[in-house]
Amino acid sequence: MNVSSIAGLMGAWEQPSYGATKAGLIGLTKSLAIEGGKHNITVNVVCPGFIETEAVGLCDDGMKERVRKRTALRRLGKPQEVADLAVFLSSPAASYITGAVIPVTGGMDLLIF
């Protein structure tokens, strides 16, 4: 399992290198899923959006409010919500999921206004 970012799917404002490296992880994951499939190994990538972490805590309040307004669930994510997906993808319940790119964004990537 790899952890990328929603920036790998949407781009990153004022951080093109960040968006590019996260997009590269998505491509790497898909290639590894193809190779791993021959050996019954699954490989997926989790793409968190804005999660209540120390790094996001450094953002100014205005930015966090803009993100909340743009997110369908109208809140930032919690680290546990990303961890829960990672646990699921690592479990036998996800044994037929491979090459998946899974956003954990509260719907931030759904809205364009």
Over the stretch 3-13, which tens digit does the pLDDT of each residue have?
A: 999 999 998 87
Active site residue 18: yes
| E strand intervals along the chain | 2-3, 45-48, 101-104
CB 82 within 8 A of CB 51: yes
- Can you tell me the mean pLDDT for 12-22? 90
User: Which residue among the candidates 10, 18, 28, 101 is catalytic per the annotation?
Assistant: 18
Task: State pLDDT tens for residues 25-84.
Answer: 999 999 999 999 999 999 999 999 999 888 887 788 888 888 899 899 999 999 999 999
- Per the CB < 8 A criterion, the answer to whether 71 and 64 are in contact is no
CA atoms within 13 A on the CB side of 68: 12
- State the pLDDT at residue 19: 94
Distance CA 82, CA 53 (A): 11
* 87-102 confidence digits (pLDDT tens): 999 999 999 999 999 9
Q: What is the pTM of this model?
A: 0.90
Domain locations along the chain: 2-104
Q: How much is the pLDDT for 62?
A: 85
Tell me the CATH number of domain 2-104, given options 3.20.20.140, 3.40.50.720, 1.10.3720.10, 3.30.420.40. 3.40.50.720
Q: What is the pLDDT of residue 92?
A: 97
